[in-house]
Amino acid sequence: YSGKKPGRVLAEKLHRILVGDVKSVPVVVSEQCTIYDAVVTMFIEDVGTMFVVREGGFLEGVISRKDLLKTTLGGQDIHKLPVGVIMTRMPNIIYAEPDESVWEAARKLIMHEVDALPVVRPVNNENGAADLEVIGRLSKTNVTRLFVELGEGND
């Protein structure tokens, strides 16, 4: 017995599991994608959150179920309106990087009350700033799946 309290052992284990180990494939659309096509994509891909990217896969925005529902109530033409008009836009996007702990990312989900984070890799652009290349998706489902796997106790 290491002398550590069991809670401490669990915490240390959780902090060692990285976003990159549990992330899923991201579902992305372009800013010009219509609300109608975004709804169809959401059903086909079976996700609750999609990321809006520009050429090169760089993050521009996030579009959620409620963003789309809200728009359908607004009486606008969903066949014409692009997701770029209604999405949550950079720099207001909460994201994760592959080498941060799942625990830290899960804390962001709770603190910011969102269902998913884009997993990104910062790439320096010519302006000396960083563009965020979308390389994955970390959702509440990923965290719940990890929770279930940890509960099974076979590591």
The interface region with ligand ADP, picked from 26-34, 52-60, 92-100, 147-155 by CB under 6 A, is 92-100
- The closest alpha carbon to 20, from 95, 99, 116, 103, belongs to 99
Check residue 49 for interaction with ligand ADP (CB under 6 A): yes
Of residues 65-84, those binding ligand ADP (CB under 6 A) = 65-67
DSSP designation for 17: S
Check residue 64 for interaction with ligand ADP (CB under 6 A): yes
Element (H, E) at 84: none
By beta-carbon proximity to ligand ADP, the closer residue of 90 and 150 is 90
Among 17, 78, 114, 150, binds ligand ADP (CB under 6 A): 114
- The closest alpha carbon to 138, from 67, 86, 62, belongs to 62
Check residue 93 for interaction with ligand ADP (CB under 6 A): yes
Alpha-carbon span 52 to 141, nearest angstrom? 20
Among 48, 57, 84, 98, binds ligand ADP (CB under 6 A): 48
CB neighbour list of residue 42: distance below 8 Å, 6 or more residues apart = 27, 48, 50, 65, 68
Residues that bind ligand ADP (CB under 6 A): 48-49, 62-67, 88, 92-94, 114-117
